[in-house]
A and B are shown apart, each in its own frame.
Chain A
Amino acid sequence: MAPIAIASDDDLELLEGFDGDDLSLSEQTRIQAPTSMPKGEAALVPMPVGMDWALFATVIGLMTVGLIMAYSASVWLGLHNFNGDDGHFLHKHMLHLSIGVFVLLIAIRTPYQLYRKVAYPLLGLSMVGLVLVLMFGRVVNNSRRWLGPFQVAELAKLAFVIYLAHALTKQISRQNAHKFSVGFLPHAVVWMVAFGLLMKEPDLGSGIVLAILLFAMTFIAGTNFSYIIGLGGVGVAALGVFIAHNPMRFARINAYLHQLLSVMGMEALPQEMIRGASYQWFNGHLAVAAGGLFGKGLGLSEQKLGFVPECHTDWVLSIIAEEFGLIGVALVALAFIFFIRRGLRIALRARDEFGRLLASGITILFGTQAAVNFGVVMGTLPTKGLTLPFVSYGGSSIIVLALAAGVLLNVGRGGNPDAEWSLPKLPRWFRREEKTARTGNTRVIINPSRATEGNR
């Protein structure tokens, strides 16, 4: 575990009388007490990790894998459905990635503390978006998820994380986080509204991601575990009733159970399921099996030829498995585990409570999406429409998750507790004050990333 710089209350008093000029750069950073930190927590001043280049490289690496796979997996679809335009999806994906990288760079430089100010508006915006989707969205594959080119549910996930981080931070600072009435119930209500709206689309997968976020983040904030167990139990029971009364979902769950048996080698998947509810999974499963240890090689997937529906989006992992084998899947899995590991590090060494919750929420968001996607493709979870972050084709997902990754990286850098709401800053190489910073301007001190770099 990375060292956490702890200054006691006494130390703080001692330091108050110091003139900063007498201290070295690293010492100046250590004594920088975040003014936004609640009073009770002020004693614990963690050391932010600084700019996490390894995490940044992981994000870019996953995006690169996504770029390659977007072409490889979608080439048949482009040829077949878009009049022989094999680059149809690649070109769109490149556009999405460009926007995503731009958003990522902006978000890295935007002090995360600012999101506290937009937490409620963002939540409200995404709720309105979810309502608008139900009114004006377009139907694709029997689901109404698209508002124009945008999938609102993706934004809602990030908005929900920011909202939870903000609201829970408030309750933590008031030492109320463990209380049911304020620490859990309001968030559960917000989730229920969002879940209800998502179920109307229907988009059960996103609803469940929100539920996991709710449970995990309230848990981290210190909510009594029994509430989570209680609501979780009620939720599972409700879901059970819901599934039992919906023949289509029942069939899917039934198919899922058969899939599990089939993966475990206990039975062959019945033919009517291969053609019916398990069609997508079974073909993805064949792709995984066909890939073997080393895979067939880039571009040589056969299951992408229209057999695995959505093979360039949610099921891109099956094509990776077929073309690069278990080795390739392991690399992707390791990338996500590394991402989670670094996200955890950022969360634990976040400068403040909001940062900690925000970083854990985003890490959980990524982790959940990746884990559910892996689980679905590998047959250990029923089929859900969740993307593999940065790898799957899909504009909304990539842009929102790039924003989230940027926020996470900024938490690592410590943000700027004194930042006022303003337009995002220009990149460093455009800024004039950077030059003055090197000449001893005190503003540089509040740039924690600088400080930690010096501290290493």
Chain B
Amino acid sequence: MATDVRDLPRKVLPARLFQLIDRAGTTPQARQDRAKRRVQLVVGLLGLYLVFAYGAAVWTVVNKATLEKYAKGNLLKLTKIETRRGDITDRNGVALATSLSANSVSANPRWVLPPFIKVDKKKVSTTPVQMPFDSAEGIAFRKTITDRIVKLLGVSGKDEAYVREQMNRHDVAKDGKPTDKGVAFVYLAHKLTDKQSQAIREAIADGELPGITLEPRFIRYYPNNELAGPLVGRDNTTGSIEASFDKLLRGQEVEVWSYKDSSATPLYIDGAPDPSIFGGKSVALTIDEKIQAVAEHHLEASVREFEAQHGIAVVMDVQTGDVLALAQWPSFNPNDIETAPKYGLHNIAVEFQYEPGSTFKVFNLAIGLQEKAVTLEEIIPLGPMVVGNKVIKDDHPHAAVSGLQSLQVSSNIANAKIAMRMHREVYEKYLRALGFGRRLDLGMIGEGAGQLSPSEKWSLVQYANIAFGQGIAVTPLQMVAGFAAVANGGTYRRPRLIRAVQTADGKEEKLPTDVGKRVFDKDTTEKVLQAMASVCQPRSADGHSLGGTGTAARLPNYTIGGKTGTAQQANANGGYSDTHWVGSFIGVTPIEKPRLVVFVAIDTPNKFDPKLGKIARYGGIVAAPVVREIARFTLPYLGVPPSPGAPYLDRNDPEKAKKEDGERKLLAQKTAATMLAVANPQRTVADATPVAEGMARVPDVLRLPMRIVRERLATAKLGLAAGGSGVGVEQVPAAGEIVAAGTPVKVTFKRMSEVADARPPEPPPEDAAKPTDPAKPTDAQKPVNAVRPGGPAQPTVKH
């Protein structure tokens, strides 16, 4: 029997302590009292312990700073979501660049574990138990999951083996030896098709694929390949929309702090963010896909024919300043820039700076007329002209020319004389107002600024040279914008390349056209247009017309004016190169109510012309026909009514003349709007998804000339079964359908004049040419292009 501490002598310390709470005594009262104290002691100790544990909690919180690094790294995860890059479309919504879903599927093989461990029937553990990576169950479970993935992806052979290998990969320790753990992150497959993505997404949502993640990824795709290739470009090609408007196009960098659970799956508080709403903005260009195609086609033909280095074509709507086509040749396919020539990776239409040569005389004349330094009728005597230490010469010497003829025959001496009549400061003011010597600020990377030194630094020779376009560097777009200012009645507008910007959620913001700034009076520009028209007039018997340099630009049904230019380019030594020439032609059409400026420059044509006895490098030969072809397609395409005063070509052939008469009559009867609507607006970027191997998507070939139809179908790996001639009016199968490659597409062609499109018209662009009624002619004014040998009297219009 052990001794009760209470029976110990009081001097023993434990007994004394104990007696404080547990006094001796045998009466019921004492017992009860003792029991009471004992209960209080035990229960009180428990309470005290609770307080003590709470103290530990307080201490933990006080010292939390030491733990925060663990908590942050453990729990929060920064998920970067790849968002869709915006599309680039033409003005009608046809995709020039688009982003296609090409998701990747990744896995965390360590967490390829059953969602819960079944111990036996119906009974489960609440905590996921990590099975050893190399255990039989682990391998077996991974195999089932892998089989499922392989089945969902539909892969086989090498791809399947890759998936299986990745799923069973071991983690590697720091010393390079494989550990017994699985690797934490592997990719299983890339560039999934929509079908594969959908299958995987559904399986993950159903909880069938633990440890597997579908990552949104996109690839950039250019459904039209070379079409506007350098303009659309890639994000690493200069002067391209992709590079210059990258900030707009690029999707927002979405970084989501999400909770990361223990299996590293992100948990979003408000649900997974929808990547589509963070997508980049789509850019709608002012380019029209079909005009662009036609421009590229004819430009290529010319560059090939004249063995030139490259060519540039720009089409602009003079009323709005919209650039309808911005073509270059050689072009490149943004889908495949690796094989593109290095030179072709530039958008030279934007970057190219050159000495414009004779085309600049248009501005010279305009400034002269505006400043009343010259009139169209004034006769300017031409003799050898010495300026400083230089002699200014003409290629084709004349004794004297009128103001109008100074442009028609492109007399350097006459133009220099006109310029020298003005103060150089005044002259410079006009050039600056026309946008020369500074960047247009279209937002394009690598955009050329041209070069125009301040007038106080001009030497006399330089001043004289500027009058005929030497000693000044310009870009094609500057020239086009300047010509547009002359063509639209004197208002200079900055060219517009972006028509609208559309956010990912569909809100469209139209970019305004430049309100413009008046540079010339309407009176002046009408006179200049008259002079420009004369450039395209052949020599007349009465001597009124000396025969223009740009007769090759004449086209049926529409009047055209313009200016040729053949400019020697500066070389690196400060002189002029003998081999580097730019032959250009800038046309304005139709002349009585201008709608288009068409610019074509052919850089360094190199083909010997036996007729000329030298290399054909004149703008009138190499560029004017291209302008003609582009205008010939574009004007009816835009619904511009034919010019009542248009010249007949080849009036010596009565048959042809009669036919042309009929054509024009038909054209005039149909209003501009109903005759041709612009491209089918229903076509969207969804049409851009690539098709399977061996299949082809039928392109839209309606309203395109046969040569281009043939080309487009060939690009799409399809044949052509043509009927009739003219432009395509009917195609079977329809655009957008997917057929086997090589299938001939039946296209019915009709003469432009026979085309009657029943589709509701798109409202004509602001200030678009109103159809003129040939039934109500007026005789208020002489037609602009009055020189029309042998032609019947034509009704004239007031404009």
A interface, CB within 8 angstroms of B: 40-41, 43-44, 76-77, 80-84, 138-141, 146, 178-180, 216, 219-222, 224-227, 230, 263-265, 268, 274, 282, 285-286, 288-293, 302-303, 305-307, 309-310, 312-313, 321, 325-326, 329-330, 333, 336-337, 340-341, 343-344, 347-348, 356, 360, 363-364, 367-368, 370-371, 374-375, 377-381
Return chain A residues, CB-CB under 8 Å to B261.
Answer: 76, 80, 305-307
Report if A333-B54 is in contact (Cβ < 8 Å); known contacts: A138-B120, A225-B5, A226-B3.
yes
Partner of B66, one of A140, A224, A268, A377: A268
Return chain A residues, CB-CB under 8 Å to B66.
Answer: 265, 268
Look across to chain B and name the residue whose beta carbon is closest to the beta carbon of A291: B61
Report if A305-B267 is in contact (Cβ < 8 Å); known contacts: A178-B4, A226-B3.
yes
Whole-angstrom distance between the Cβ of A170 and the nearest chain B Cβ: 15
Question: How far, in angstroms, from A293 to B60 measured CA to CA in the complex?
Answer: 11
Return chain B residues, CB-CB under 8 Å to A146.
Answer: 123
Question: How far, in angstroms, from A329 to B29 measured CA to CA in the complex?
Answer: 40
B67 on the A face (CB < 8 A): yes
Return chain B residues, CB-CB under 8 Å to A139.
Answer: 119
Return chain A residues, CB-CB under 8 Å to B74.
Answer: 286, 307
Look across to chain A and name the residue whose beta carbon is closest to the beta carbon of B120: A138
Partner of B56, one of A230, A263, A306: A263
CB pair A222 B34 closer than 8 Å: yes
B interface, CB within 8 angstroms of A: 1-5, 18, 22, 28-29, 31-32, 34-36, 38-40, 42-44, 46-47, 49-54, 56-61, 63-64, 66-68, 70-71, 74-76, 115-116, 119-120, 123-128, 207, 259-263, 267
CB pair B59 A305 closer than 8 Å: no
In the complex, how many residue pairs between chain A and chain B have their CB atoms under 8 Å apart?
Answer: 198
CB pair B128 A337 closer than 8 Å: no
Question: How far, in angstroms, from A139 to B28 measured CA to CA in the complex?
Answer: 51
CB pair B267 A378 closer than 8 Å: no
CB pair B50 A264 closer than 8 Å: no
Look across to chain A and name the residue whose beta carbon is closest to the beta carbon of B127: A309
Question: How far, in angstroms, from A326 to B40 measured CA to CA in the complex?
Answer: 27
Task: Classify the interface of chain B: helix, strand, loop or mixed.
Answer: helix
Look across to chain A and name the residue whose beta carbon is closest to the beta carbon of B29: A44
Return chain B residues, CB-CB under 8 Å to A341.
Answer: 47
CB pair B42 A364 closer than 8 Å: yes
Whole-angstrom distance between the Cβ of A190 and the nearest chain B Cβ: 19
CB pair B71 A263 closer than 8 Å: no
Report if A371-B57 is in contact (Cβ < 8 Å); known contacts: A222-B35, A289-B71.
no
* Additional A-B contacts beyond A82-B116, A367-B50 (14; CB < 8 A): A81-B115, A81-B127, A83-B207, A265-B59, A286-B67, A288-B60, A292-B61, A302-B76, A307-B74, A309-B127, A348-B39, A370-B46, A371-B46, A378-B54
Question: How far, in angstroms, from A360 to B57 measured CA to CA in the complex?
Answer: 28
Return chain A residues, CB-CB under 8 Å to B52.
Answer: 375, 380
Whole-angstrom distance between the Cβ of B62 and the nearest chain A Cβ: 9
Name 27 interchain pairs, CB-CB below 8 A, sorted by A: A44-B28, A77-B126, A80-B263, A180-B2, A216-B42, A226-B4, A265-B63, A289-B60, A291-B61, A303-B75, A306-B128, A307-B75, A326-B57, A329-B57, A330-B54, A337-B51, A340-B47, A344-B39, A344-B40, A356-B35, A360-B39, A364-B43, A374-B49, A375-B56, A378-B57, A379-B56, A380-B53
Look across to chain B and name the residue whose beta carbon is closest to the beta carbon of A322: B71
Whole-angstrom distance between the Cβ of B141 and the nearest chain A Cβ: 15
Return chain A residues, CB-CB under 8 Å to B71.
Answer: 286, 289-290, 302-303
Return chain B residues, CB-CB under 8 Å to A225.
Answer: 4-5, 18, 22
Whole-angstrom distance between the Cβ of A165 and the nearest chain B Cβ: 12
Whole-angstrom distance between the Cβ of A74 and the nearest chain B Cβ: 8
CB pair B262 A306 closer than 8 Å: yes
Partner of A305, one of B29, B43, B67, B259: B259
Whole-angstrom distance between the Cβ of B111 and the nearest chain A Cβ: 11
Return chain A residues, CB-CB under 8 Å to B3.
Answer: 224, 226
Question: How far, in angstroms, from A312 to B35 measured CA to CA in the complex?
Answer: 38
Return chain B residues, CB-CB under 8 Å to A374.
Answer: 49-50, 53-54, 57
Whole-angstrom distance between the Cβ of B739 and the nearest chain A Cβ: 44
Partner of B61, one of A180, A293, A333: A293
Return chain B residues, CB-CB under 8 Å to A325.
Answer: 61
Question: How far, in angstroms, from A131 to B29 measured CA to CA in the complex?
Answer: 43
Question: How far, in angstroms, from A325 to B60 measured CA to CA in the complex?
Answer: 11
CB pair B49 A371 closer than 8 Å: yes
Report if A138-B57 is in contact (Cβ < 8 Å); known contacts: A306-B262, A307-B74, A360-B42.
no
Return chain A residues, CB-CB under 8 Å to B1.
Answer: 179-180
Report if A289-B47 is in contact (Cβ < 8 Å); known contacts: A81-B115, A380-B56.
no
CB pair A264 B59 closer than 8 Å: yes
Return chain B residues, CB-CB under 8 Å to A274.
Answer: 70
Question: How far, in angstroms, from A364 to B261 measured CA to CA in the complex?
Answer: 38
Return chain A residues, CB-CB under 8 Å to B18.
Answer: 225
In the complex, which of the residues B57, B67, B68, B128 has the most CB atoms of chain A within 10 Å of its own CB atom?
A: B57
